[in-house]
């Protein structure tokens, strides 16, 4: 069963990576934890790429048209993620990252 992390802090917006727009930054707070085989494999792949709690991420670009996939920067690396994958990454977006 998938559970979204609860409150983080009052000055933060919690959501998933797929909700962010080009130029926005956030901090990873968790990954979806579904029991489905495909989701477990996706979670493992995301962890191996560096989508770990506490990591700062930045939406570098979005494809046109449709905004899928997204180019996400973690540290010095940029990865292309489909929005389906990005929706499995829970993030907190602080007010200063807008």
In this structure, is residue 2 part of a structural domain? no
In this structure, is residue 20 part of a structural domain? yes
**What's the structural domain count of the chain?**
1
Confidence at 8, pLDDT banded by 50, 70, 90: very low
Q: Give the mean model confidence (pLDDT) for residues 6-16.
A: 64
Backbone CA torsion sign across 44, 78, 68, 27 = positive
Strand order from edge to edge, sheet including 56-62:
12-16, 89-94, 25-31, 56-62, 70-74, 77-81
Domain housing 86: 14-97
Residue range 32-82, pLDDT digits in tens: 887 666 678 888 899 999 999 999 999 999 998 878 899 999 999 999 999
In this structure, is residue 51 part of a structural domain? yes
Residue range 63-72, pLDDT digits in tens: 988 788 999 9
Q: In this structure, what CATH number is given to the domain that contains residue 40?
A: 2.30.30.90
In this structure, is residue 6 part of a structural domain? no
């Amino acid at each position: 069963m998938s559970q979204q992390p609860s409150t983080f802090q009052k000055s933060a917006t919690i959501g998933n990576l797929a909700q962010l727009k080009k130029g926005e930054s956030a901090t990873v707070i968790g990954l979806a934890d579904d029991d489905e085989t495909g989701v477990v494999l996706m979670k493992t792949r995301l962890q191996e790429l560096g989508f770990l709690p506490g990591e700062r991420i930045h939406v570098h670009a979005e494809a046109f048209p449709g905004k899928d996939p997204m180019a996400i920067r973690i540290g010095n690396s940029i990865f292309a993620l489909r929005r389906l994958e990005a929706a499995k990454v829970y993030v907190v977006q602080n007010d200063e990252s807008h």
